[in-house]
Amino acid sequence: MPALDLTDPVALGGAGDRNAARGQSVSTRLLFLIVGIANATWAPLVPLVQDRAGLDAAGLGLLLLTFGIGSILAMPSAGAAASRLGFRPVLLAGTLAIGLALPVLAVGDGLVELTLALVLFGAGMGAVDCVMNLQAVVVERASGRPMMSGFHGLYSLGCILGALIASGLLAAGLGAGRSVLLLVAGIAALFAAAWPGILPAERAGGSGGPAFARPRGVVLVLGLLCFVVFLTEGSALDWSAVFLIQQRGLDPAWAALGYAAFSVTMTAGRLAGDRVVARLGRRPVVVFGGLLAAAGLALSVLVPAWEAALAGYALVGAGCANIVPVLFTAAGRQTAMPARVAVPAVTTLGYAGVLAGPALIGFAAQALGLSAALLLVAALLLAVAAAGRSLPV
């Protein structure tokens, strides 16, 4: 089959046709929704896994690291496989890995089986995440209008829906095993609905060139910017509750409000993001988003009231909402490296921020205090805003 060209909508196997383009758009949104639901399905299983395996905090931390290892290893491999085999087989393999791993994580109690399942789950999530972003780049370019924020908004929406459904099923007394099987069945149904619109083949850079390459030039810059934004998101997930309890004296029962405020504005910002990007342009979205997120962290840290901290985290979510989607679009449009290599590289660097970021903040908090560590994150967000002025869009 001839190679597809990112710059030619007609070459997308029917993307020039309105109905085919609509189907590809819906399919891409469903893929992002699947990853969000799968991520939310795993979250309530973490304490159950810790209890069944008899792990202390350090042991759980080491076990959770295997998820990241699986994801980081799978992302560049998935990009290389997609360039040779097409999107469909890679996405199918990744979704199967997710569907096989989650039931084991729901009921397994042996450390070896849990470790292998978590590596498989991480690899499946990494593969699907990488290739769905590759498809999103292709579909957005073919459409000629901003779409990436809306795609990522479906991921955020999937996280919320998955968390609500998982919590509801567990609260109904179905147990972890049956609850996860129902969620996996839902994921399978969504993937079947997405299948017709998945691009059958994608060789964005042609057949030449290496399958793997170190990010360089603008791709490295984009990856580092993604690292900072994902680090910020990780800090909201892992440190907002700690900050509210330790620094603002909030009751632990209400400490999740910080991340809730972040998540609500993040999701709303992404769902409205395509219109925002179309109106303002991609560079201003990164510049203003970085400034807004930095201001939100500064507000949380510098104003000694828990209400201000909640407002600050809401600003962080709104500011970060559309930066990463714009960076992925830029990765697909730059010319320093083929998109089939650049997008996985940016994805991998970004997720390294999720994995390493909370630990780095912990080290900084140990040395300087948590407030100072969060202000360092705000300074990094200012650097993102400064870099946004010369973003290659």
Q: Tens digit of pLDDT per residue, the chain (393 long)?
A: 334 444 444 344 444 577 888 899 999 999 999 999 998 888 788 888 888 888 886 777 788 888 888 988 898 888 888 888 889 999 999 999 999 999 999 998 889 999 999 999 999 999 999 999 989 988 998 888 889 999 999 998 988 888 888 888 888 888 889 999 999 999 999 999 999 999 876 443 444 445 556 777 888 999 999 999 999 988 887 788 788 888 888 887 787 788 888 989 999 999 999 999 999 999 999 999 999 999 999 999 999 999 999 999 999 999 999 999 999 888 888 877 887 788 888 888 888 887 777 778 888 888 888 899 999 999 999 999 999 988 876
Alpha-carbon span 106 to 318, nearest angstrom: 33
| Torsions phi, psi for 190 (to 5 deg) | -65, -40
Give the single-character DSSP code of 3.
P
Alpha-carbon span 32 to 29, nearest angstrom: 5
Alpha-carbon span 263 to 248, nearest angstrom: 20
Find the DSSP H helices in 172-216. Answer: 175-194
What angle in degrees, to the nearest 10, is found between the helix axes of 111-143 and 87-107? Answer: 150
Which positions ≥6 away from 116 have C-beta within 8 Å?
Answer: none
Neighbour-count burial for 220-234, b at 16+ CB within 10 Å, e otherwise = bbbbbbbbbbbbbbb
pLDDT at 213: 62
pTM exceeds 0.95, yes or no: no
Alpha-carbon span 8 to 290, nearest angstrom: 33
Alpha-carbon span 89 to 48, nearest angstrom: 32
Cα of 17 vs its chain's centroid, Å:
30
pLDDT at 201: 61
Alpha-carbon span 282 to 115, nearest angstrom: 41
Q: What is the dihedral of CA 378, 384, 389, 392, to 10 degrees?
A: -170
3-state SS string for 243-301: HHHHCCCCCHHHCCHHHHHHHHHHHHHHHCHHHHHHHHCHHHHHHHHHHHHHHHHHHHH
Q: How far is CA 99 from CA 31, 39, 351, 389, in A?
A: 14, 12, 21, 42
In Å, the largest CA–CA distance within the chain is 62
Q: What is the dihedral of CA 66, 72, 75, 81, to 10 degrees?
A: -70
Which positions ≥6 away from 69 have C-beta within 8 Å?
Answer: 119, 122
CA within 13 Å, CB half, 260: 8
| Torsions phi, psi for 266 (to 5 deg) | -60, -50
Q: What angle do CA 297, 301, 305 make, to 5 degrees?
A: 115
